[in-house]
Amino acid sequence: MPDAASTKPRILMFARGYQADFFPELRDDAYEAVYVTLTREEAAQVRATGAEVAACFEADYDAITPAEVPEHYLYTSFMAERFLGRYDHDKRIEILGKEIAFWRGLLDRFEPVAVLNELVAIEISEVLLIESRARDIPYLAGMNCVVEDFFYWLPDPMTISGRTFDLPEPGAEAKAEAAAYFEELRQQDYKPFYVKNLAGRRDLRPLAAGVLKTIQWWWRDRRSRTGAFRYESYLEEYSKRIQTFFASFMRPYDRLEEIGEDKEIVFYPLHQEPEATLNYMSEFMANQAASIENILKCLGPHQVLVVKEHPVDKGALLRPKFRTLRDNYSALRYLPAEVPGRAVLKRCERVVTMTSTVGWEAANLGKSVCVMGEIFYDDLPGIKRVASWKELREAMRTPVAKLPRVDPATAEHFVAAMTEASYRGNPFPYPELYSERNIARVKHAIMDGAGLAKGPST
């Protein structure tokens, strides 16, 4: 039965990570916020702000009676989930059944007018989306617009593909924002906001944190097999920091300037791992080592594949799975994260990517871009969408002059339309996240997405 304790419309907020601190700031007289967390630690964070926690999946786990899991229940594969693979198959079925029961109980109890979460990146969020859709409850998942300090609600929280967009005609203000954005994008020293002010490769602070967190998660994982249930595990992520830190002293990278001018460079920007855009939006190509190997098989005798690390994932290419590839393929070159992406783009005319924003930059610098995943620009005229390795081989063997390119005016109109469809503000970690103005803007976007907004945002 519904919980009738409040007469205000309710918004169920699934607070994960930083959201356990941020979402309580989004309380408003226009609605009642219902806070739900995945982990015990997140529940404690929410309570520390003075807010109540309606439910915590980990804390409630033992008391939940699993629902029957329908055949082919998930939109994605059962194996796309990044955390739960450490449990055996029967336990995985039990967890999924409890996720279904957990969300059904909360949605039926509180009858929210909207759910606030994020792009679907783990199984329990996917279950929340499925159960919300079954009740016609809007699922608000934000995504940054390419124009800084704007964001929008994803039309489909399972993907960031541009094929889901239904963009409006932009007004004068949005066109001005887009023009200013492209003026900055085309500068040689352009950097997206999310790769600025990053720690150095040999900074000891990330290493120290990696050591402590590795020990912590090793102990937590060990206990979760026989004791209290834990959903997440970051053991691999933190142990990777230790591995790559020491490997950086012993393993060399290739040098861009050593690649002869007689070789055609094909650029693949490495994705950070793990990442939702790999696990969910490039599901069948999430194994980047295998994908790199397949890209190599699409190249001609005079082409070289250059793979560059993501700026926030320094040392990733020093891991054994990638080093084995480098040792076995003569047409493969690895560049460190510190090499500017623009330096590589200056040398190449072709880019192959799953969902990288480097592909977007490349397209707007006149390069040929093949996209194999789901990303906001994948439906833009001039982008080559590739559905199979055979298609990619055909594209790699087509003279580059005959491949499609993005028209600058079309791209600018596209960004202007995205800006027109976006809200001012930013619900993701950045310096002004907790500013009074940003909180007011995000709350307005929530109310608008839930059908409660009054008046324009400022």
Q: What is the pLDDT of residues 58-91, one digit of tens each?
A: 999 999 999 999 999 999 888 888 889 889 999 9
Mean pLDDT (the chain) is: 90
Mean pLDDT computed over 160-164: 95
Q: What is the largest CA-CA distance in the chain?
A: 73
Q: Would strands 142-144 and 150-153 be described as parallel, antiparallel, or unpaired?
A: antiparallel
Q: Give me the percent of the chain exceeding a pLDDT of 90.
A: 75
* pLDDT above 90 for 168: yes
Average pLDDT, stretch 136-151? Answer: 97
pLDDT, average across residues 417-443: 97
pLDDT digits (tens, 9 = 90+) for 351-406: 999 999 999 999 999 999 999 999 999 999 999 999 999 999 999 999 999 999 99
Query: Pick the residue with more confidence: 203 or 1?
Result: 203
> Do 95 and 103 contact (CB within 8 A), yes or no?
no
HSE-CB for 238 with a 13 A CA cutoff:
17
User: Helix 204-224 vs helix 235-247: angle between axes, to the nearest 10 degrees?
Assistant: 140
For residue 196, what pLDDT is reported?
58
> The tokens of 86 are what?
């450490």
How much is the pLDDT for 188? Answer: 76
pTM of the model: 0.89
Looking up tokens 């955390």 gives 83
Whether residue 456 has pLDDT greater than 60 = no
Nearest partner of 123 among 88, 95, 156, 142, judged by Cα: 95
pLDDT of residue 1: 47
Strands 32-37 and 10-15, bridge-based pairing: parallel
Angle at 333 (CA atoms; ends 331, 338), nearest 5 degrees: 165
pLDDT(453) > 90? no
